[in-house]
Chain A
Amino acid sequence: MTPFVDVAFLILSFFMLATKFKPPEAVQITTPHSVSSDKLKEQDAVQIEFDSTGKVYFSMNTKKSSDASLKKDLIEGINKERNLGLSNIEIQNFVNNTTVGVPFNSLKQLLSLPKEQRTSARQPGIPVDTANNELTTWIQQAILAFQGHQVNYLVKGDNNAKYPSFKGVIEALRKNEQFKYQLITDPESAPAGTELYMRRLMGDKYSSSSNQ
């Protein structure tokens, strides 16, 4: 039995050291694979997600939980811009739990729900079509809230999402003059025999930043 116990604890220590806890996810998203290997910078970031049905969600990651004032600035900016008439409790609700996937006209309703119902509430997604791209306002207010900081834009899309929702996200960023963003993907290795593969064999770091 002793060797058996040894192995069990070895596996246990491996899992404790090599993995990290899953972050809570509001929506189930399977990201596509890509050969890029850049590390994800989660701090000071605006994360835009879209799921397999193309619904767009917006959330904001700040450096520390003490930076909650940034989120507060954001929601107060939105409140003022769109005349939503949010109460202080609703603003506080947004600061505590920030993944939003509703149009502005139902934002008040979503934020007034108690916490348990809010996380399980069905959200129709933020409209991103050309006629009514509400994500533009979200990003605009996020830029104002983050003033002075370098903001990372993280775009996380589902494999089966259709191109128009991706395009809507790009449009919203483009209207705010934001042209650089990070697409969250699962890493994979470069296919054998291709130019990138050869370069990586040569130990070339230059190739990873070929997208100028």
Chain B
Amino acid sequence: MADIDVSGGDSGHKKGPGVKKAKKLSTRVDMTPMVDLGFLLITFFIFTTTMSTPATMPLTMPKDEKDPKDLTEVKESGALTIMLGKGNQVYYYEGQLKSDGSNFKTSNFSDIRKVIIDKKKQVVSNWRPDAACDDIVKKAQENGDPDWKNACKDKDFVVVIKPNSEATYKNTIDMLDEMTINRVKRFAMVDITEDENKLVKLTEQSNKVQ
């Protein structure tokens, strides 16, 4: 601590007999109240403030198309439909749902990423060059996409997300997040159909999902 040496007397030369020694005053300050206050403030700040500033996830939904001509068409080979049910369960099928439900599969949030990646790879490997692609590639290049050469290869890949009424908001956001993580450029959030919901319910029953 920055205390000044006030003990001048002991250094050597003796003072005369008549000279009184000055009374030593301590320069040390009692710091306990200050420390108390410091910790009080720390506790106050811990309890009243937040650390993380929330981030936002932009979401763009399509408008209601009345005219069936304006609806986006999706190639069956590139479509992956993911359904969300209760108990964090994920169900999916590729292309169109077969009437006997044989391509309806059950998955969960840790495995679905692989399914999406595999499907994307499959779509990319089936890609054939065509003229409609030039615009997309050019646009990607202008936007500074480092991977612009491949920007068009996954253009047929579409993921359709269908949460049912028992899926939680967290599941829905996680799935939208999965789209960002795996760079799925085209995805849609659609209501679940009755047939699909029935299949989900049946699977839930047989798997005893709570």
Contacts and interface: CB of A to CB of B under 8 A. Distances in A.
Q: Do A and B bind each other?
A: yes
Interface of A: 1-2, 4-5, 8-9, 11-12, 15-16, 18-22, 31-41, 50, 154-155, 157-167, 170, 173-174, 177, 179-187, 190-191, 194-197, 199, 202, 204-207, 209-212
Interface string B25-63: 000000100110011011001101111111111111111
B166 A182 contact: no
Given A19-B51, A166-B169, 13 more contacts: A18-B51, A21-B48, A22-B50, A50-B169, A159-B168, A160-B169, A182-B58, A183-B176, A191-B181, A195-B181, A202-B146, A206-B145, A211-B180
A198 to B, nearest CB: 9
Contact of B169 (A33, A159, A181, A210): A159
B181 A194 contact: yes
| Interface residue SS majority, chain A | mixed
Interface residues of B, number: 57
B49 A22 contact: yes
A4 B1 CA distance: 13
Contact of A180 (B60, B146, B172, B174): B60
Given A191-B181, A206-B143, A36 B63 contact: no
A9 B35 CA distance: 9
Contacts of A159: 168-170
B64 A174 contact: yes
Interface string B157-187: 0000001111111111110110111110100
B55 A212 contact: no
B84 interface: yes
B183 A195 contact: yes
A210 to B, nearest CB: 6
Contacts of B169: 32, 50, 157-163, 165-166
